[in-house]
Amino acid sequence: MTPRDVSGDDSRWSDLDRPPLNAAALRRGLVREGGLWSGIEVVAGTGSTNSDLVARAAAGKAAEGAVLVAEEQTAGRGRLDRQWTAPPRSGLFFSVLLTPGDVPVARWGWLPLLTGVAVATGLSRAAGVDTALKWPNDLLVTVGGEERKAGGILAERAGEGGVVVGVGINVTLREDELPVPTAGSLVLAGAVSTDRDPLLRAVLRSLEEWYDRWRAAAGDPAVSGLQETYAAGCATLGRTVRAELPGDRSPVGEAVAVDGDGRLVIATEEGVQEPVGAGDIVHLRPA
């Protein structure tokens, strides 16, 4: 799907509860000399901001700090190619291009976890809502006493030296608009603000802060404080979980740590500490 540009007043954007993002104001607030963000583009709709930005990076048409935001995604993707859909202007759906060339590639796996910390921090400041992180890339909020997924993160390599990180956050979705009963949104979690412009600015400023700190530490998750901060906000740690792994393996045990490589360490029922680098993690209810 070809991106549709947002320009001027358009009767299609007349929903007062869900006004369009102001691309010019976002650029004024975020793009600055010496800063990370080099450009911000808002399109009315596209298939996937991640796919679009990966293609632009591969063609040499995007620089580090490029931000692509869509008011609507028709083919948004989560992990394992799961679909991510939501009504137009009901959330924040964006991708950023990062080129951390001074960080060893072995540490690039921390980028989605770093983004999770940044998103949670930014939303706490701007929306006043408590969030938690489910390893490796889900943003959780509490709705009616239950944990629900309100956001997700997907990182993809872009050429030799780039990584595109995509973020999807449900902002104003109502109960009858949720794709599945386990989904949530900021408004359902009691956010004090659902104005997407300041929310996006807060998240991108937080992401710039954490990315700069991580790069200054050459990607070291301990020195940068990332590992400790992620662990403090991770709802998975201390829980009994089931890891659904390739090869039809599903070890069960307590999630005890996130190691230096960003892997979840599970103390299994067999007494083995197993690091998990990829796979689905299911939070099990207490017996």
- Positions in the chain short of pLDDT 70: 1-15, 76-84, 285-287
Q: What Rg, from alpha-carbon coordinates, does the chain have? A: 19
In tens, the pLDDT along 222-273 reads 999 999 999 999 999 999 999 999 888 999 999 999 999 999 999 998 899 9
| pLDDT score, position 13 | 43
Q: Which token pair is 5?
A: 């540009």
Q: Please report the beta strands in 46-107, taking only residues with DSSP state E, as ranges in sequence order.
A: 66-70, 76-77, 83-84, 91-98
Report yes or no: 14 and 38 within 8 Å, Cβ to Cβ.
no
| pLDDT score, position 9 | 42
| pLDDT score, position 4 | 53
User: Roughly how many angstroms between the first and final C-alpha of the chain, as a whole number?
Assistant: 46
| pLDDT score, position 86 | 82
| pLDDT score, position 226 | 98
Q: How many CB atoms lie within 10 A of CB 38?
A: 15
| pLDDT score, position 264 | 98
In tens, the pLDDT along 140-157 reads 999 999 999 999 999 999
**pTM of full prediction above 0.75:** yes
Write phi, then psi, for 118 (nearest 5 degrees).
Answer: -65, -45
Q: How far is the C-alpha of 199 from the C-alpha of 118, rounded, in Å? A: 12
Q: Which token pair is 191?
A: 């956010």
| pLDDT score, position 3 | 58
